[in-house]
Each structure stands twice: as C-alpha cells, then as structure tokens.
C-alpha cells in the first residue's frame, strides 16, 4: 500500500506543530520547532483590572464553557481589550480542557487551573530561577481556595442561593462532593452548576486582586499552609530527613498517620 509522505507523518504522529502554525520550518521533523506564541516570551504585559468586573464575566462565561475557561478567558479577555496583542491571539477555548478537574476527571479544580495558567502567563518565566513570584502567587491562590468558605462571589441576580463550604483541598472532587453533602444537591443539578459558576467568579476575583497587588509592587502571600502540614513537610519534603513527599497541600485531608507518629 502506498502512503503519501504527509499521511505517513500524520500516522506516525509526527506532524510538526511549527509547520501547522506557519512557523519557519526548514526540514520537517528535524530539530524541534518552537510554537509561534513563544515569540512573545513570559511574562506577558499586565495592566490593572477591575476585579469585580472580571468576576462577573467569569460567572457568565462559566455557563458557556466551564470553570477553567471562565477564569482564564475572563482575565485574558479584559487584557485583550486593554492591551490587544499578544492576548488577541490567545486560544481561549483551549482552556476547556481543564473543566471539572481536567476533562471531567475531578482532579485539580478548573478554576484554579485557569488561575495558575494566567498567573504564570503574566508573572512567570521560562527560566526556572525566575519563577519564584509566579509560584508564590499561585500557592497563595490555592491555599486561599482550600481555607476560605466559598463561593464568596454572588452575582447581581443569583439563580440559587449558595451554601458555602471550606474544601481544605484544591481537588475538584473534594470541593464539589463536600458541597453536595452540605447542600444535599446532586452533582448534575442546576444548583451545582450555579455554585461552580460562583466559584469561578470568586477565584477570578481573588486572582485579579493578587495580580493587581503584584503590579503595584505590593503582593504579599497571606494564605499559608496550615502549620501542622508545614511540620509534616519539615520531615518529608525537599531538604528534610526523609524527602519522600513534595507536597504543599493540607496533608490531613488524605492522611491519618500512624500514632504515635514521629515528632520533631
């Protein structure tokens, strides 16, 4: 059977992104090519945004394409309006991948996934040594999410009133199922959809507040890991005696450790 070169490449899963994106590719699938968007290195420009307006947009966008899309597109949409390029070429719909804990898997909350992406876009760097600020801001958002009774955002005309819960976790599954238990609503209910839309509004608002503070040179992490989990990390995380867990989450959500457990 004869196969064209193009089909052969496609079958082999080797069609280069550079070719598809119209980049300068001298030889197909020789050296790795760079996606066109990398022509604008991180961090992308940021200007002060209205956190309440972004939150309201995120709430609406959630009903269009879910949590991860809502948080990223509400912020990037405002930046596109105020700054234009490179934001105008951002493929906003791509972020639907993160919905309901990545493709409905119930893993990382999509609102947080979108928030982390935007944070790295406007404060990050390809250089690992310069990612400290993006990491600090992202961790603050994640800790805030785990520790705060959410949702904090309430739209002008709510479809339902919300029960707030403290998730203690950044996982979609934990957050949603704790809410189902507290509200006695099902995951497939309209109430749950409204709750997650409000959650997207809440996360978008908090993210913009932190990014605005960072822009003003006033960002300071306020939401720390619980002190007990910090103690666990002193024995189990990087630089510790055991070094068998790289985790900055609330350990007690998942671990009921042996008693007596070693103490420092």
Positions that interact with ligand HEC (CB under 6 A): 228-229, 231-236, 242, 244-245, 247, 249-251, 253-255, 257-258, 261-264
Output the smallest distance, CB 147 to ligand HEC, in A.
14
What is the C-alpha end-to-end distance of the chain, expressed in Å?
69
Q: Find out whether 32 and 84 touch, Cβ atoms under 8 Å.
A: no
Output the smallest distance, CB 256 to ligand HEC, in A.
8
Q: 188 vs 263, which CB is nearer to ligand HEC?
A: 263
In whole angstroms, what is the distance from residue 200 CA to residue 194 CA? 10
Q: 76 vs 232, which CB is nearer to ligand HEC?
A: 232
Q: 60 vs 136, which CB is nearer to ligand HEC?
A: 136
Q: 25-43: b or e for each residue (b if 16 or more CB lie within 10 Å)?
A: beeeeeeebeeeeeeeebb
Output the smallest distance, CB 230 to ligand HEC, in A.
8
Output the smallest distance, CB 225 to ligand HEC, in A.
7
Q: 168 vs 205, which CB is nearer to ligand HEC?
A: 168
Among candidate residues 165, 244, 172, the one with its CA nearest the CA of residue 255: 244
């Amino acid at each position: 059977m004869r196969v064209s070169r193009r089909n052969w490449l496609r079958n082999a899963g080797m069609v280069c992104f550079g070719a598809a994106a119209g980049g300068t590719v001298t030889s197909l699938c020789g050296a790795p090519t760079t996606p066109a968007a990398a022509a604008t290195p991180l961090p992308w420009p940021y200007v002060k945004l209205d956190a309440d307006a972004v939150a309201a947009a995120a709430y609406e966008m959630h009903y269009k394409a879910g949590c991860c899309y809502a948080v990223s597109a509400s912020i990037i949409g405002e930046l596109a309006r105020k700054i234009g390029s490179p934001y105008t070429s951002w493929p906003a719909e791509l972020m639907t991948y993160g919905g309901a804990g990545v493709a409905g898997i119930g893993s990382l909350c999509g609102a947080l996934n979108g928030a982390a992406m935007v944070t790295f876009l406007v404060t990050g760097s390809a250089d690992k040594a310069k990612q400290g600020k993006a990491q600090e801001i992202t961790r603050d958002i994640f800790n805030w999410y785990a520790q705060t009774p959410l949702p904090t955002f309430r739209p002008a005309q709510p479809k339902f009133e919300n029960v707030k819960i403290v998730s203690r976790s950044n996982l979609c599954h934990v957050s949603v199922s704790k809410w189902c238990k507290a509200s006695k609503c099902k995951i497939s209910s309209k109430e749950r959809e409204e709750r997650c839309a409000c959650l997207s509004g809440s996360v978008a608002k908090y993210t913009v507040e932190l990014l605005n503070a960072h822009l003003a040179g006033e960002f300071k992490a306020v939401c720390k890991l619980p002190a007990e989990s910090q103690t666990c990390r002193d024995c189990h995380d990087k630089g510790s005696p055991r070094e068998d867990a790289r985790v900055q989450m609330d350990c007690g959500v998942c671990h009921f450790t042996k008693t007596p457990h070693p103490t420092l």
